[in-house]
Amino acid sequence: MSSVQTTGIKLKPLHMIGIAIIVLSIVLGYYGLSASMRPYTTQISEATSTNRGVQLAGFLGTTGEYNEEGKFTFMLQDSTGAMIPVVYSEPKPSNFEQAVSIVAIGHYDVRTGNFIAEDLLVKCPSKYQEQMAAS
């Protein structure tokens, strides 16, 4: 009978705790980064088909109004002509009516059929574009 002799690495409890902390940090960092990254899309169909947050770019469909809950609502139109209601809890941006395009950052709410915006990025026409058009 031959005996098999194994040489294993013996870890001290302090080393095991250190490795566990490193692995936990990597896992939490991965989930934190993946949750904070929001894909950019210009089509409403893509934004409504995912359960993640997205950046939805489009054009102003209506000038908007405040609903009975005091939230700013407006229609956002995408490049295909489809429209979706957007609900924004913050006050309307000051340059909203002059917007050339709007990026709503948020998620689609399946229950209400609205896009819930956490932030709005409003792109207004540049003063240099106006000067070039006048020339």
* pLDDT for residue 46: 84
Count CB-CB contacts under 10 A for residue 17. Answer: 11
Q: What is the pTM of this model?
A: 0.65
* pLDDT for residue 29: 87
* pLDDT for residue 5: 60
Of 89, 84, 114, the C-alpha closest to 102 is 84
* pLDDT for residue 4: 59
The identity of residue 43, as a single letter, is Q
Residue labelled with tokens 């490795």: 19
Of 49, 52, 121, the C-alpha closest to 84 is 49
* pLDDT for residue 33: 77
Contact 75, 83 (CB under 8 A): yes
Residue labelled with tokens 């058009």: 133
Per-residue pLDDT of the chain (135 residues; tens, 9 = 90+): 555 566 667 778 888 899 999 999 999 988 887 766 677 788 888 888 887 888 899 998 888 888 888 899 999 998 888 999 999 998 888 888 888 889 999 999 989 999 999 999 888 776 655 555 555
* pLDDT for residue 6: 61
